[in-house]
Copies of this chain bind each other. A is one copy, B any other.
Amino acid sequence: MHDTFVSNPSFFKLDATLKKIRNYWQKNFDAQQKDITVDQWLLIENLYKHKRITHNELARLTSKDITTVSRIIELLVKKELVERQGSTDDRRKVFVQLTPAGVNKYKDVRPLVLEMRKTGWNNLSEGDYNELTRILDVIYNNIP
């Protein structure tokens, strides 16, 4: 591993790519008046999958800070897409789940998301996808 390799700012390329994706998603959300942000979507997606979970689990699933999750949930509650329910057996916990409107939002936005993912993966094979996954996993696990 020679120096040019090490000094090459791969970090930057990751950041640039992610920003471009995020931007593209947000512009499409806005253009189709979906009235959500990309991160709000990520939470909705996870809530649809897991039905009823705590802030903590949601944070872990989304790789987000608990404080960030707390605030995004707050916005989603205001939009009446999500509701909170204090746990009865452990009164520290707060469960979160989609409202019927939240479920509708998921179903409404989902096709657009699939379409955008397809656009991103254009000209790439499943092997490429596996490679990317593998490399990112190694990097992730390299970092203490």
Contact = CB atoms under 8 A, between A and B. Distances in A.
Interface string A14-48: 11111111101100000000000000001001000
A120 B11 CA distance: 10
Contacts of A140: 16-17, 20
Q: How many copies does the complex hold?
A: 2
Contacts of A135: 124, 128, 131-132
A136 to B, nearest CB: 5
A96 to B, nearest CB: 18
B142 A13 contact: no
Interface string A100-144: 000000000000001001111111111011011101111110111
A142 B121 contact: yes
Interface of A: 1-2, 5-22, 24-25, 42, 45, 62-63, 114, 117-126, 128-129, 131-133, 135-140, 142-144
